[in-house]
A = this chain, B = another copy of it.
Amino acid sequence: MSDSYREAGVDLAAADRAKDRLKALVDSTRDANTLSELGAFGGLYAVPEGVDAPVLVSSADGVGTKLKAAFMTGRHDTVGQDLVNHCVNDILVQGARALFFLDYLATGRMDESVVTDVVTGVALACRENGCALLGGETAQMPDFYAEDEYDLAGFIVGIAPRGGIIDGTSIEAGNVLVGLRSSGLHTNGYTLARRIVFDRMGLGVDDAFPELDRSVGDVLLDVHRSYARQLLPLVRDGVVRGLVHNTGGGLPGNLPRVLPGGLGAVVERSSWAPGPLFDVLREGGGVDRDEMYRVFNMGAGMVLVLAPDRVDGVMERLRDAGESPWVMGEIEAVEAGDPEVRYAD
């Protein structure tokens, strides 16, 4: 029994070849604090100087079943961007800028070109967010994943001065909620979205998505955007009291995560149009309106909590940065037992 490991479905030589290709991608994300080369047991990153009482802010996440859209279309260079941007947003809402990222890619059978495509997306988003791709793990697990399928998870570390951490404790009744547009479904609600689009509506990935001049595959793969470039300057200036990344659980699940006790949020759903993507999913799936807002971001990917006297200035700066912000509600006092998020309409 020679080459036993290969017979058992694990190809170490293919893993080595993939590693060579990945090196150039990893190197494209290096910065002055990156001290290690790919292949070390751990990645090395010098703690940046000049941050007062530095706090590391860290998050782990996956892409979830959005990966199925990549499998169905054969496009693997976007899911890595989804993953990095999701993680960047998750630490951004606590006031941190990204330092470095690591990925975990588990496959049934190592396909070098798929691995390279996935990491190409990871590296692109790392560069866009000024974040080093410090390492990762590519695991071949033949008995776990279907042929040509994989799972992808990521892990980010960022930094903030302790005094710059956004924890929501300064939020008060009367503070204003300002929304920023999402870029599609981001990475949430895909299990339901796929069921609606493929099973109930009977569409294929190459069909046109109703009301949109694009294919179903393209719409489902729209990249989960990063808000770091637009929001970090506001965070640094200390003008943001709370930030909410609107992911799984939607507004009712995520707004309470930043609210101090005794406060709730009232959201005016008529203040924005979610857009045709969400309209089609709601109608095609016969989904209850409130359920739509629990599962999907409904066009609002990020929510800022601002003191009223900051609203005009912040919205102007956001428009200058290319955003289309809108006032979507406000913070109110609530009694024990009241819902933390209620809809005005």
Q: A5-B192, A5-B295, A291-B5 are in contact. Are A43 and B55 (CB under 8 A)?
A: no
**Stretch from A90-98, A213-221, A310-318 that touches the partner:** A90-98
> Does A272 sit at the interface, judged by CB under 8 A?
no
- Pair B58/A47 contact, Cβ less than 8 Å: no
A323 within 8 A of B: no
Of the candidate stretches A74-82, A229-237, A280-288, the one touching chain B is A280-288
Closest to A94 in B: B42
Distance A139 CA – B5 CA, assembled complex (angstroms) = 30
A41 and chain B: residue at smallest CB distance: B90
Interface digits, A127-150 against B, CB 8 Å rule (1 contact, 0 not)?
000000011110101111100010
Note all chain B residues with C-beta closer than 8 A to A285.
Answer: 1, 4
Most buried by B among A93, A144, A159: A144
User: Bound state CA distance, A253 and B59, in angstroms?
Assistant: 31
Number of copies: 2
Instruction: Select A62's contact among B43, B44, B139, beta carbons within 8 Å.
Output: B139
Q: Are A288 and B57 in contact (CB under 8 A)?
A: no
Within 8 A of B (CB), among A1-38: 1-5, 8-10, 12, 35
Q: With an 8 A cutoff between CB atoms, is A158 at the interface?
A: yes
A326 interface residue, CB < 8 Å from B?
Answer: no
A288 vs B54: C-alpha distance in the bound complex, in angstroms?
A: 52
Residues on B with beta carbons closer than 8 Å to the beta carbon of A102: 58-60, 155
A336 within 8 A of B: no
Find out whether the CB atom of B61 lies under 8 angstroms from the CB atom of A43.
no
In chain B, what residue has the closest Cβ to A57? B42
Q: Which residue of B lies closest to A45 (CB)?
A: B56
Give the residue among A68, A141, A145, A295 with the most B Cβ atoms within 10 A. A141
Query: Which of B43, B58, B99, B295 lies in contact with A45, CB distance below 8 A?
Result: B58
The 7 closest A-B pairs by CB, nearest first: A155-B155, A42-B59, A104-B153, A60-B102, A42-B91, A47-B54, A41-B90
Q: Could you show 27 A-B contacts with beta carbons less than 8 Å apart?
A: A1-B291, A2-B288, A4-B192, A4-B295, A8-B191, A8-B192, A9-B191, A12-B249, A40-B94, A40-B167, A41-B93, A41-B257, A42-B58, A45-B56, A46-B53, A46-B55, A47-B56, A58-B100, A61-B104, A61-B137, A65-B142, A104-B104, A104-B155, A137-B153, A141-B151, A141-B191, A142-B191
